Structure 1
Amino acid sequence: MGGDGVFRIVVGVDGSAPSRLALEWAVNEARLRHGEVKAVTAWQFPPVTVGMEGLVHDPEIFPQAARRLQDEALRRVDSGGMKVTGDVVQGNTAGVLLKAAENADLVVVGSRGLGGFTGLLLGSISTQLVHHSPSPVLVVRSRSGGEE
């Protein structure tokens, strides 16, 4: 807990079903601990190779899309009056969440995000967090064990 006695939970939100479950879990846990939740969404510019430079006419679409995704997730969760804030940050997802974890008592993520291979138990981001986070990490799996 911080010096003010507030239990802080950081939760990774990417719009996937597991991240929505992670957000629900984080809000419920913060309610029990009289804490607060910060939803963190990371975004990056897509890689561009020679000849593709003209495909993206408005670079603002990426942070705007990330903000819309996070806003939708926050609207869908029942915060019950709890303090739930959002942060949309440019950068590598694991790096962004590891930085946010420096000021957290707990980091919560879904077991699988939007990319990767669906049969794996843990995604690359959750694996990096489990191994490198300065705070405890809770990985939430979907209720059915698969994607919802």
Structure 2
Amino acid sequence: MAGNESYRIVVGVDGSEQSRAAMDWAVEEAKARGGEVLAITAWHFPYVTDALGQAWDYQVFQTDAQSILDEELARVRGRGVQISGRIVQGSAASVLVEASRDADFVAVGSRGHGGFAGLLLGSVSTQAVHHAHCPVLVFRESSADQPGRGTDTAD
């Protein structure tokens, strides 16, 4: 990371379990390295309008995004690491790629659809991996959370 002496980890926050896992890792990693965490929640207007053609109220999106970020910041405060948050209007992928310019690491969940669908959709982690200016760690759903695979031998 050029021009900044502090180790910074950027985390994409959308309210999903994977996003929380990314935040937990980032906090522990920043603590171990004496660094800081920047939590980012991105939001954007949908590309469609409702059946009546009414425009979306941007304040609703901004408020929902702020609630998601505030909840996550409250969950991880007091862990001995400097943590700041930012709400950014734009696609989650482009926002995280831009933030990666000033980061040593980006941590994201593999799937969005957390507390507010549309903040970090499935392709976001892929875009971050391919376009970020620093390493990216993607947190996937744990195998314990996935349905079992194999042969059912129950009688």
Residue of structure 2 in register with 1:62 after alignment: 61
Query: Residue type of the partner of 2:70?
Result: D
Contact 2:77 2:83 survives alignment (8 Å):
no
TM-score, L = length of structure 1: 0.84
Residue of structure 2 in register with 1:118 after alignment: none
Query: Residue type of the partner of 1:91?
Result: G
Distance (Å, rounded) in 2 between the aligned partners of 1:60 and 1:97: 22
Change (3 A) 1:124 1:50: closer
Residue of structure 2 in register with 1:14 after alignment: 14
Distance (Å, rounded) in 2 between the aligned partners of 1:50 and 1:111: 29
- 1:141 to 2:128 alignment: no
Residue of structure 2 in register with 1:95 after alignment: 94
Structure 2 unpaired stretches of 5+: 115-121, 147-155
Distance (Å, rounded) in 2 between the aligned partners of 1:59 and 1:40: 18
Distance (Å, rounded) in 2 between the aligned partners of 1:50 and 1:21: 34
| Cα RMSD for the two superposed structures | 2.2
- 1:131 to 2:117 alignment: no
Distance (Å, rounded) in 2 between the aligned partners of 1:64 and 1:49: 19
Runs of 4+ in 1 over 6 A off after TM superposition: none
> Which structure has the larger Rg over C-alpha atoms?
2
User: Residues 11-59 of structure 1: CA distance to partner in whole angstroms, max 9, x if unpaired?
Assistant: 0000111001101110110000000000011001122347533364x43
Which secondary structure does the structure 2 equivalent of 1:6 belong to? coil
Contact 2:110 2:140 survives alignment (8 Å):
yes
Query: Residue type of the partner of 1:101?
Result: S
Residue of structure 2 in register with 1:83 after alignment: 82
User: Residues 73-113 of structure 1: CA distance to partner in whole angstroms, max 9, x if unpaired?
Assistant: 11112541311000100001100000100100000001221
Identity %: 51
- Per mean C-alpha deviation after superposition, the further-off stretch among 26-35 and 58-67 is 58-67
Change (3 A) 1:145 1:109: farther
Structure 1 unpaired stretches of 5+: 116-122
